[in-house]
Amino acid sequence: MCGIVGYCGDKLASEVLLSGLKRLEYRGYDSSGISVNSGNKLSIIKKTGKIKNLRDAVPENLPGHFGIGHTRWATHGGVTDINAHPHSDSSEKIAVVHNGIIENYTGLKEKLLREGYVFKSETDSEVLAHLISKFYEGDLESAVKSALSLVKGTYGIIVMHADKDNELIGARNGSPLVLGIGDDEMFLASDVSAILAYTKQVVYFEDGEVVKVTSKGFTTSDLKNNRVSKDMENISWELEEMEKGKFSTYMEKEIHEQVESIPRAMKGRINEDLATAVLGGLNMTGRELLDVERVKIIAAGTSYYAGQVASYIIESLARIPSSAELASEFRYRNPVVEKNTLYFAISQSGETIDTLFALREIKRKGGRVLGICNVVGSTIPRESDGGVYIHSGPEISVASTKAFTSQITALYLFAIHMARMRDMSQSSGAAFLKDLNIIPEAITDILNRKAELQKIAEKYAHYPNFLFLGRGINCPVAMEGALKLKEVSYIHAEGYSAAEIKHGPIALINEKTPSMFLVPDDHMREKIVSNMKEVKARNGKVLAIAVKGDKEVEDIADEVFYVSKTHENLYPYLMVVPLQLFSYFCAMELHRDVDQPRNLAKSVTVE
Local structure of residue 136 (DSSP, 8 states): -
Phi, psi of 155 (to 5 degrees): -160, 145
pLDDT of 538 over the 60 cut: yes
The burial class, CB within 10 Å (0-12 / 13-18 / 19+), for 38 is middle
pLDDT of 271 over the 90 cut: yes
pLDDT of 519 over the 80 cut: yes
Is the domain defined by 244-437 classed in CATH 3.40.50.10490? Answer: yes
Q: Helix (H, G, I), strand (E, B), or coil: what is residue 544?
A: strand
What percent of the chain clears pLDDT 70, i.e. is strictly above it? 98
Please list, residue by residue across 336-365, b when 16 or more beta carbons sit within 10 angstroms of its beta carbon and e when fewer do.
ebeeebbbbbbbbbbbbbbbbbbbbbbbee
- Break the chain into its structural domains and give their ranges: 3-235, 244-437, 442-592
CB 48, CB 31: distance < 8 Å: yes
What confidence score (pLDDT) does residue 234 get? 86
> Mind listing the pLDDT tens digit for each residue in 500-515?
887 887 888 888 899 9
What confidence score (pLDDT) does residue 240 get? 67
pLDDT of 215 over the 70 cut: yes
Single out the residue of 294, 488, 483 nearest to residue 404, CA to CA.
483
Q: Which of 2, 8, 475, 586 is catalytic?
A: 2
Q: Helix (H, G, I), strand (E, B), or coil: what is residue 381?
A: helix
For residue 239, name the pLDDT band (cuts at 50, 70, 90).
low
Residues forming beta bridges with residue 294, ordered by sequence position: 341
What confidence score (pLDDT) does residue 604 get? 66
* DSSP codes joined into one string, 393-461: ----SSS-SHHHHHHHHHHHHHHHHHHHHTT--HHHHHHHHHHHHTHHHHHHHHHHTHHHHHHHHHHHT
- Count CB neighbours of 222 within 10 A: 15
pLDDT of 383 over the 90 cut: yes
Residues forming beta bridges with residue 271, ordered by sequence position: 276
What confidence score (pLDDT) does residue 353 get? 87
Beta strands in 49-200 (DSSP E): 66-72, 87-88, 94-102, 153-161, 168-173, 178-181, 186-189
Radius of gyration of the chain (CA): 25
d(CA 47, CA 72): 10
What confidence score (pLDDT) does residue 603 get? 61
pLDDT of 605 over the 60 cut: no
pLDDT of 602 over the 80 cut: no
CA-based max dimension of the chain:
79
Distance between alpha carbon 308 and the CA centroid of its chain, in Å?
17
> Mind listing the pLDDT tens digit for each residue in 25-69?
776 788 999 999 987 899 999 999 989 999 999 998 899 999 999
Please list, residue by residue across 532-544, b when 16 or more beta carbons sit within 10 angstroms of its beta carbon and e when fewer do.
beebbeeebbbbb
What confidence score (pLDDT) does residue 196 get? 86
CB 404, CB 306: distance < 8 Å: yes
Q: Helix (H, G, I), strand (E, B), or coil: what is residue 61?
A: coil
Q: Which helix (H) or strand (E) segment is 547 a member of?
A: strand 542-547
pTM over 0.85: no
pLDDT of 14 over the 90 cut: yes
What percent of the chain clears pLDDT 90, i.e. is strictly above it? 78
Q: Note if 2 is an active site residue.
A: yes
Q: Under CATH, which number does the domain 442-592 receive?
A: 3.40.50.10490
d(CA 457, CA 65): 49
What confidence score (pLDDT) does residue 1 get? 58
The burial class, CB within 10 Å (0-12 / 13-18 / 19+), for 43 is buried
For residue 600, name the pLDDT band (cuts at 50, 70, 90).
confident
> Mind listing the pLDDT tens digit for each residue in 137-147?
999 999 999 99
Q: Residues 6 or more apart from 509 whose CB is under 8 A from it?
A: 467, 501, 515, 535, 538, 539, 540
Distance between alpha carbon 376 and the CA centroid of its chain, in Å?
13
What confidence score (pLDDT) does residue 394 get? 86
Q: How far from 504 is each of 36, 508, 519, 607, CA to CA, in Å?
A: 58, 8, 21, 31
CB 33, CB 26: distance < 8 Å: no
Single out the residue of 122, 172, 180, 118 nearest to residue 144, CA to CA.
172
pLDDT of 236 over the 90 cut: no
Q: Note if 602 is an active site residue.
A: yes
> Mind listing the pLDDT tens digit for each residue in 431-468?
999 999 999 999 999 999 999 999 999 999 999 999 99
d(CA 442, CA 262): 12
What confidence score (pLDDT) does residue 351 get? 87
Task: For the chain, give the mean pLDDT.
Answer: 92
pLDDT of 606 over the 60 cut: no
Phi, psi of 230 (to 5 degrees): -125, 145
Q: Under CATH, which number does the domain 3-235 receive?
A: 3.60.20.10
The burial class, CB within 10 Å (0-12 / 13-18 / 19+), for 465 is middle
d(CA 515, CA 511): 10
Residues forming beta bridges with residue 98, ordered by sequence position: 157
Q: Would the CATH topology of 244-437 be identical to that of 442-592?
A: yes
Phi, psi of 200 (to 5 degrees): -115, 0
What confidence score (pLDDT) does residue 421 get? 95
CB 553, CB 532: distance < 8 Å: yes
Q: Helix (H, G, I), strand (E, B), or coil: what is residue 566?
A: coil
Mean of pLDDT values over 234-245: 74
Q: Residues 6 or more apart from 260 whose CB is under 8 A from it?
A: 440
CB 432, CB 317: distance < 8 Å: yes
Rounded to the nearest 5 degrees, what angle is found at the Cα of 580, between the Cα atoms of 577 and 583?
A: 150
Q: Which of 50, 109, 253, 602 is catalytic?
A: 602
Q: Can you list the pairs that 38-46 forms with residues at least 24 positions away whose Cβ atoms lie under 8 Å?
A: 38/62, 38/63, 38/64, 39/63, 39/64, 40/162, 40/163, 40/165, 41/162, 42/88, 42/92, 42/93, 42/95, 42/160, 42/162, 44/86, 44/88, 44/92, 44/95, 46/81, 46/82, 46/84, 46/85, 46/86
- Cis preceding-peptide flag for 394 (omega within 30 of 0): no
